[in-house]
Structure 1
């Protein structure tokens, strides 16, 4: 395994070192050589001049189209994109273009071709929520969710994960991803805890810098980059009660000292886009928060990229002019783009939205498209399709998994496992890659079935051990295994569907643990969860306890951890404090009464 990881690491480092990109003058020369321009861009000497030239030429309908993003399915054809002059599309939950990467590439190239048939031939931005790998494509590498990546404390791995995600997203036709999420979740109740890296400001800041470097490199014009998006601006993880889309109540000082620094770092490191949150800040929804979006983000921080809404954000919180005047540049309108465009146009014509605001938005959008090289190289990067799910990519994800696991307890020589041990892998989560990956894995809400190209925890353990059985329904009388690896945890969820007060294992999962113990087995619990849970009772009766978070497709990384493959020793540190009792929730990182404090993790078995 060590050799495979080294090969993968060298490949990634070589790839990262190629992030030199083209100089603007070189890219302009390529644009001028490209024979399909509808508008003479070669009369200009810089991107800025080209953008202003296009702005002067564009009609209001064309500008509004550029500010609109629609979903590619739901009866939205390539011809509709062309005829309505829509500037970007998104792939999300729903039908896929097909089982193979070339099906995706061909579908999105068809949309791109129709966009290029418009009067000015402005190319499309094509976006996806690739939040832990290209997680919408079955067969891609799916990394641990951000909560696990932060547990590694390994910024190099976070950068490599971003790089691999960029390659595999580009290899399925995309040039833009809506990640990384840099929420700093403060409430265990929130259904998006796992999307954020950690509750800690400084670790979040380090992680976003590394993620941007991986996704975007030194230049967006390089073929192996895609545009990244920091989300959700701002304080989405600090809503009262941990409610998705709720109200974050705090002083401006707290906001500036705690929640703004990761965004400032993202801006300083060239993040292409920032998505505003569903949440409100002191009762003003972020889609309408002119002070924070325009005055602070674009003004004080100097963000010159694109601000985009979240799902249906151009209409969900009021008339389109409220979001656009607040500083939003693109509205994500999944199947109601005509309504949004019509209302926004009317607001411009009646003076509610000044043309200067429209021009600022379109200027930012066109600038991003130039920086991405889309005016000379608009189509999908077919050469990356063959690298999706490659051994080299999986080796890096496997390393991320084993470094992300946090050892909370290790007694009675239960760990590391020995290949000669008689072992039972217990519970459905132990042999189901859908369950071990969580939400945003193949489907928006995840899935409860295994998916192509992934390795379950049982499969991984069975590769190493010589006497391994799978016991889905628990330990039983007469079971020969002396050690039980009991894999339990949450079922997949995403966004508000994960908001809950039931922050503990189900009774069925508790019984899996207690029954194995009653039968005299050494019990090693592997907890699959998108957040910290109330585990004290389960911890007390276990011989060893491992927080595995949501490890993704590479179950081999879990086996590496449990067996100490190649001399591996645990390195993961918890990105959150753990509560002892329900009354502890929400628990602060430095709480003295915590079951485990922020940063806890045994470093030996």
Structure 2
């Protein structure tokens, strides 16, 4: 029998720094050669050089964020930048579609292609690492501000997308830094100073704590990370929040036991800007690199201080942090560098993040080293074609009465709504895209980038209408009632654009502090649709939004004959929408979440007011978020998870389940990193504090983080070095137990295109695993192009992990068939349109 899922297993001991485990020793499989190179490199370093590589030098440098350099070995450090939608703070780079749209596409190939292109642009700009892709937040609450950066509240869809994004990005040669690990599900109360000083609410003393049971943690929030680590993820960013009242970036259980142990993660863990809350505890807890480098649990940059830097040097000298742990940090960082082949002809950093001048100070606060800081290198290549394809293939057609779409050479079109046109200040006219002016093609915050251009929908529609001799009139003011009436009453078809937006918590728009305050359309969007529909019998609604919006005020209006959900498609948004409206692309997107009828139908929400000095965010809903919650409580959604229409129709037939013969799982090779004499890799030749004071031969720069001790620093060496086992923990393979990826079953179905035009169908497989699990949960999908009248055989492969649940007592995945459970199998076009059914019998 399975134990209660309410068992909490996350240690809080590191709050006091009283216990920890040594990190997992990686270095086998595809990583073996990288670790050998890394060890050779680390063994050449002095203590301060090791510290330099772990510590972000601070935000004083204009040329990207970077760890410290090793001049003696001509090593420039590790440079990185934010990157879910492109190179942040750069020019001549692309503005890609959001992670939301990648999930809406349900297209593995497109996810891989865009991620490769994104990584290639970072590499061409000289970034070693990309702070992307995003799988945290997962999307527990639809109002969550950064949900659009990730994929879906469904762990399987998010896992497949995350794995493909990691593989694509790292195939370009750039390090993918997956974020944010873990249970970072809202923006409110994520940082103390951000909330206390910038917002109007009651003060807090610590970031919020996400309180989650172990089974929910594994089956929902950790589930996608398996896929990323399995595909070679080389970096992880630990998150702002606490988990069960322990700060994530110093959680021995989360970083060492789970990430580096259970999942077999081989790379390095870095902090976010402001997520590090300690020096010694974060080092012992499994963090390997600091972000921009401040001491800030408060998010204040550029202070020239750090929890690490000289403090880490001091901690090694006084015995608070064993030197083997410092060696492990540096080795992990350098192994990731070598794993991606960055020691061979990697481009030099050639841009200054956020500074577009050609010449400037490399260290502006010190006004030192005037030089060329921007090459203005154009790295876009043909990536606009990929972005346009992602946009059109991710658009979700929600309603299409009497085949209103595709447009059939209408005599006159009315384009109505501010979201159809350009921002009067330009596409980059608002800081980090934090405004709702003109069309919205991305959210705001560190998940944004600069648009090289932005094709607004009105421009793209006018271009198409010109070729067809169609009259186009438009109104781009949502409150211009008289003009809207006049234009909409004349048109054959009225294209009405509405939106919503969200973003990161350091910025607010209309009192939305990152998270959305509501799920309705912004800028009076509901009334805009109703006004147009009162005058126009073919009203087409196009929605740009970071997630679901409520549509009940107008969705059943008979004059609202088509609805297209476009998400955040990036720079080609207008062209992508026009491709679908005019039928050049048959819509094939599907919802990666549920559109409910009422806000309360979701069962989860953002915590908007602190419920204590340390806000407590309790995940009492357990496994039942989004469609799982709707199914459990028999709530009728407006549009269910996985729903999306096409300009053609499909028929499902002939489900067949095949049991795959078991193969012996190969044993793991021994780790070359293990040691019988102790975990120290390359001890320093001297631990004499006087050897590590600030050299008299150099002058310190303002706000630059150095590893040297100040002359005033004293070292007390009487501290007891933490006791650790000599032998390291046996590592898992990357992605965890290899047997979890064994294919146990293949499910075959036949799909026929019964319509008149070619189309892609996203067929979906759901399982009922019993044992207190949701009634249906996604465990397979395939996107298949089918010509009219043709049939295609589609096969879903079920891994052992797909038919297993987490046993909190045994602390492992258990196949439900071994628990005596028959697994119900459903295949169809959405989570509630399931044409075929079958059973996998208990063993």
Matching residue of 1:375: 343
* Deviations 1:188-235 (CA, angstroms, capped at 9, x unpaired): 121011111001111111111211221112xxxxxx421111111122
Question: Where does the alignment leave 5 or more consecutive residues of structure 2 unmatched?
Answer: 1-31, 192-206, 294-300, 351-374, 428-438, 507-512, 605-624, 649-843
Q: Which residue is equivalent to 1:85?
A: none
Q: What are the Cα deviations for residues 266-305 of structure 1, in whole angstroms up to 9, with x where unaligned?
A: 1221111011111222222211211110112112222110
Per the alignment, residue 185 of structure 1 pairs with 139
The residue that corresponds to 1:473 in the other structure is 477
What pairs up with 1:436-585 in 2 under 5 angstroms?
Answer: 436-440=440-444, 444=446, 451-465=451-465, 466-474=470-478, 475-479=483-487, 480-491=490-501, 493-495=503-505, 497-506=513-522, 508-541=524-557, 542-554=560-572, 555-565=574-584, 568-585=585-602
Q: Deviations over 1:48-100 (max 9, x none)?
A: 454334333322221111011245xx53368xxxxxxxxxx528xxxxxxxxx
Larger strand percent: 2
Preserved CA contact (<8 Å) 1:227 1:372: yes
Which whole-Å CA distance do the structure 1 matches of 2:501 and 2:261 have between them?
42
Q: Aligned partners of 1:476 and 1:52: how far apart in 2?
A: 68
The aligned runs of 1:68-107 (5 Å cut-off) are 68-70=55-57, 74-76=59-61, 89-90=64-65
For the residues of structure 2 that align with 1:163 and 1:385, how far apart are their CA atoms? 21
- For residues 214 and 326 of structure 1, the distance between their equivalents in structure 2, rounded to whole angstroms, comes to 30
Distance 1:455 1:240 in 2: 30
Q: Do the aligned residues in 2 keep the contact of 1:446 with 1:494 (CA within 8 Å)?
A: no
Question: 2:212 aligns to what?
Answer: 250
CA distance in 1 between counterparts of 2:62 and 2:516 reads 38
- Mapped pair 1:400 → 2:390: yes
TM-score calculated relative to the size of structure 2: 0.57
Q: Residue 398 of structure 2 aligns to a residue in which SS?
A: strand
Q: Can you give the 5+ residue segments of structure 1 that lack an aligned partner in the other structure? A: 1-44, 79-88, 92-110, 218-223
Show the 5 A alignment for 1:589-604.
589-590=627-628, 591=630, 592-593=634-635, 594-604=637-647
TM, length-normalised to structure 1: 0.78
Give 3-state SS (helix, strand or coil) of 1:57's partner. coil
In the other structure, the counterpart of 1:342 is 310
SS in structure 2 at match of 1:345: helix
Pick aligned residue for 2:79 from 126, 134, 157: 126
Deviations 1:508-527 (A, max 9, x none): 22232122122235221111
CA contact (8 A) 1:138 1:453 kept: no
Question: Which residue of structure 2 aligns with residue 26 of structure 1?
Answer: none
Aligned length, in residue pairs: 510
Mapped contact 2:396–2:645 kept (Cα < 8 A): yes
The counterpart of 1:389, out of the listed 377, 380, 388, is: 380
In 2 relative to 1, CA 243–432 (structure 1 residues): closer, same or farther, beyond 3 Å? farther
Q: 1:289 and 2:273 equivalent?
A: no
2:139 and 2:443 mapped to 1: Cα distance?
17
Higher Rg of the two aligned structures: 2
Q: Structure 1 residues 280 and 235 mapped into 2: Cα distance closer, same or farther (>3 Å)?
A: same
With over 3 angstroms needed to count, the CA separation of the structure-2 counterparts of 1:259 and 1:275, relative to structure 1, is: same
Residue 47 of structure 1: how far off its partner (Å) = 5.0
1:324 lines up with 2:328 in the alignment: no
The answer to whether the 8 A contact 1:227-1:272 is kept is: yes
CA contact (8 A) 1:570 1:603 kept: yes
CA RMSD of aligned residues (A): 2.9
Give per-residue Cα distances to partners, 1:93-124, cap 9 Å, x unaligned.
xxxxxxxxxxxxxxxxxx9xx946x1232232
In structure 2, how many angstroms separate the alpha carbons of the residues matched to 1:56 and 1:284? 34
SS in 2 for 1:476: helix
The answer to whether the 8 A contact 2:96-2:571 is kept is yes
Q: CA deviation at 1:259?
A: 2.1
